[in-house]
Amino acid sequence: MNFPAIRMRRMRRDTFSRALMREHTLLPTDLIMVAFVIEGEGKREPVPSMPGVERLSIDGLLELAGECVRLGIPALALFPSPDASAKSEDAAEAWNPQGLMQRVTRALKAKYPELGLIGDVALDPYTTHGQDGLIDENGYVMNEPTVEALIKMSLAQAEAGMDFVAPSDMMDGRIGAIREALENAGHIHTRILAYSAKYASSFYGPFRDAVGSSANLGKGNKHTYQMDVANSDEALREVELDIAEGADAVMVKPGLPYLDVLRRVKDAFGMPTFVYQVSGEYAMLKAAAQNGWLNERAVVLETLTAFKRAGADAILTYYAIDAARWLREA
């Protein structure tokens, strides 16, 4: 028995010794802000299931980007919420050089070249059926035709100046196919953030409201391409394949319910490993905070610190700007 020679509480007694033994420190540079992009001018549309989050037109995005730069947030992840008229069976608007994402990317890069931009690559905002890919007559998402579409979408974004293309669709082989197309087109610096372990999670509900795909998706689900929530060995296989195909960084998504997966991925590969605190996680925290049931600032910073402890190099979160402000005040 080591007690009392070993007293774990001794190092916890004072602020200075707690600081010295702290293993992980959350910084604004760990955070990636997430934004929903809409057409128009001077438009801000609240997302009802995500209080505090608004869909923004280009002018609002420029303000948001300026705030990221001022706060030391290195990157902004963009998700389009196109008008219903831009949706089709073949999602062709996704690779229109004058399309929403491409225009926004050029505008943001012109004003804030130092802010990293991460473009979502998946077809769901652009399809009339709300699936991430192209479907056959039975509604099954077809792998290779979808990959061909994702290549066009990635090239259009890279051409507009996107720093990272981020395929979030979970088709097989798309990382290698996109990498090859980018290289052949001379976009050798365009990075790929692979949503490698993306789960078929019910925590994406508010996001689907935000990008306007939930009504289109209806009773559909994404179980034929996103991962079964019960698996984690499979996540390692997915990540291994994406690394072999040329991913520059890999992602685990959602976040808090998948910290075990995050830790396994980081330990197994030592890759730049990102995690996504998704819309449902935001909604839970926000709802409890609005009811006065949880201290918002304390619990949000706790969740973000937990991601770092579990091995994340960067965290996509709707709370990035709030968290960076709180960290600066602290």
The nearer residue to ligand FVT, 158 or 278, going by C-beta atoms, is 278
User: Number of residues in contact with ligand FVT, rule: CB under 6 A?
Assistant: 7
Tell me the per-residue interface mask from 146 to 175 with ligand FVT, x by CB under 6 A, - otherwise.
----------------------x-------
Which entry of Mg ion, ligand FVT, none binds 238, CB below 5 to 8 A by partner kind?
Answer: Mg ion
Q: Do 199 and 226 meet the contact criterion of CB atoms below 8 Å apart?
A: yes
Tell me the per-residue interface mask from 197 to 226 with Mg ion, x by CB under 5 A, - otherwise.
------------------------------
Question: Which positions are annotated as active-site residues?
Answer: 198, 253
The nearer residue to Mg ion, 238 or 281, going by C-beta atoms, is 238
What is the DSSP code string of 237-279?
A: HHHHHHHHHT-SEEEEESSGGGHHHHHHHHHHH---EEEEE-H
Which residues have a Cβ under 8 Å from the Cβ of 250 and sit 6 or more positions away? 193, 194, 196, 197, 239, 242, 243, 265, 269, 271, 272, 273, 274
* Least Cβ distance, residue 313 to ligand FVT (angstroms): 19
Which entry of ligand FVT, Mg ion, none binds 126, CB below 5 to 8 A by partner kind?
Answer: none
- 214 to each of 18, 35, 133, 204, 235, how far by Cα in Å? 46, 18, 15, 10, 26
The nearer residue to ligand FVT, 204 or 326, going by C-beta atoms, is 204
Q: In 3D, which of 241, 151, 129, 252 has the Cα closest to residue 201?
A: 252
As a whole number of angstroms, the distance between CA 66 and CA 103 comes to: 17
- 19 to each of 13, 15, 121, 217, 242, how far by Cα in Å? 11, 6, 41, 48, 38
The nearer residue to ligand FVT, 204 or 258, going by C-beta atoms, is 204
Which residues have a Cβ under 8 Å from the Cβ of 127 and sit 6 or more positions away? 87, 88, 89, 91, 133, 134, 135, 213, 216
Tell me the per-residue interface mask from 195 to 234 with ligand FVT, x by CB under 6 A, - otherwise.
---------x--x---------------------------
Among 30, 93, 132, 238, interactor with Mg ion by CB under 5 A: 238
Q: Do 252 and 227 meet the contact criterion of CB atoms below 8 Å apart?
A: no
As a whole number of angstroms, the distance between CA 11 and CA 148 comes to: 57
The nearer residue to ligand FVT, 99 or 167, going by C-beta atoms, is 167
Which entry of Mg ion, ligand FVT, none binds 204, CB below 5 to 8 A by partner kind?
Answer: ligand FVT
Among 31, 117, 259, 278, interactor with ligand FVT by CB under 6 A: 278
Residue 142 β-bridge partners: none
As a whole number of angstroms, the distance between CA 252 and CA 275 comes to: 5
Task: Say whether residue 279 binds ligand FVT (CB under 6 A).
Answer: yes
* Least Cβ distance, residue 296 to ligand FVT (angstroms): 18
Window 230-269: residues binding ligand FVT (CB under 6 A):
none
Element (H, E) at 4: none
Task: Say whether residue 127 binds ligand FVT (CB under 6 A).
Answer: no
> Which residues form the interface with Mg ion (CB under 5 A)?
238
Q: Which residues bind ligand FVT (CB under 6 A)?
A: 120, 122, 168, 204, 207, 278-279
